[in-house]
Amino acid sequence: MINFTKHAMQRMRQRGIVKDMVEFVIKYGRDKGDKIILGVKDIKQMLQNKSYEQFRPLLLKLLDKKGLVVVFPDDAVVTVYQITKHL
């Protein structure tokens, strides 16, 4: 089970990001130290791959957000935000 700080929950509400998106990014994103990133390029590749077909609606939502960065340093998600530059 993934823990979320109060700050992370507040930011998720403000940014229209749901737990399913965050959990998907943590599971399938690229680990960059304290951050886990799932960018547009990653999402488009997953949409082309039949093994991710069951996640298509979620992937489309993530694509609409232009990808996500999850700050997950230890045992809790600290914050989540949309990617603002090409990663």
Q: What is the DSSP string of the chain?
A: --EE-HHHHHHHHHHT--HHHHHHHHHHSEEETTEEEE-HHHHHHHHH-GGGGGGHHHHHHHHHTT-EEEE-SSSEE-EEEE--S--
Q: What pLDDT is recorded for position 74? A: 83
Q: What is the pTM of this model?
A: 0.92
Evaluate if residue 87 carries a pLDDT over 70.
no
Where exactly are the structural domains of the chain?
3-82
- Tens of pLDDT, residue by residue over 14-68, are 999 999 999 999 999 999 999 999 999 999 999 999 999 999 999 999 999 999 9
